[in-house]
Chains A and B, each alone.
Chain A
Amino acid sequence: AQSVSQHNHHVILSEAASLELGCNYSYGGTVNLFWYVQYPGQHLQLLLKYFSGDPLVKGIKGFEAEFIKSKFSFNLRKPSVQWSDTAEYFCAVNGKGGSNYKLTFGKGTLLTVNP
Chain B
Amino acid sequence: GAGVSQSPSNKVTEKGKDVELRCDPISGHTALYWYRQSLGQGLEFLIYFQGNSAPDKSGLPSDRFSAERTGGSVSTLTIQRTQQEDSAVYLCASSLEGAVGYNEQFFGPGTRLTVL
Q: In the complex, are the beta carbons of A51 and B107 less than 8 A apart? A: no
Known interface pairs A51-B102, A101-B98, A102-B48. Does A107 touch B40 (Cβ–Cβ under 8 Å)? yes
Given contacts A43-B108, A44-B107, A107-B40, contact A100 B45 (CB under 8 A): no
Chain A residues with CB below 8 A from B105, complex form:
103
| Interface size range on B against A | 20 to 34
Q: Tell me the complex Cα distance, A103–B98, Å.
A: 11
Most-contacted residue by chain A among B42, B99, B102, B109 (CB, 10 A): B42
Q: Which residues of B contact A99 (CB under 8 A)?
A: 56, 99
Which A residues lie at the B interface, using CB under 8 A? Answer: 4, 6, 32, 36, 42-46, 49, 51, 90, 92, 94, 96, 99-108
B residues with CB within 8 A of A: 3-4, 31, 33, 35, 40-45, 48, 50, 56, 59, 91, 95, 98-99, 102, 104-105, 107-110
Are the CB atoms of B43 and A101 closer together than 8 Å? no
What's the count of A-B pairs with C-beta under 8 Å?
56
Contact residues in B for A94 (Cβ distance below 8 Å): 102
Contact of B43 among A45, A96, A105 (CB under 8 A): A105
CA distance A6 to B41 in the complex (A): 11
List residues of chain B with CB within 8 A of the CB of A108.
42
- Residues in B neighbouring A106, C-beta threshold 8 A: 42
Report yes or no: B91 in contact with A44, Cβ–Cβ below 8 A: yes
Give the CA-CA distance A96 to B99 in the complex, in Å.
9
**Residue on B with the closest CB to A45?**
B107
* Most chain A beta-carbon contacts within 10 A, residue among B35, B98, B102, B104: B102
A107 engages B108 (CB within 8 Å): no
Whether A101 and B31, one on each chain, are in contact in the complex, defined by CB atoms closer than 8 angstroms, is yes
A100 in complex: contacting residue of B50, B59, B91, B102, CB < 8 Å: B102
Extra contacts besides A51-B102, A96-B102, A100-B99 (6): CB < 8 Å: A6-B42, A42-B109, A43-B109, A44-B43, A94-B102, A101-B33
- What distance in Å separates the Cβ of A22 from its nearest Cβ neighbour in chain B? 14
B102, chain A: closest CB distance, angstroms: 6
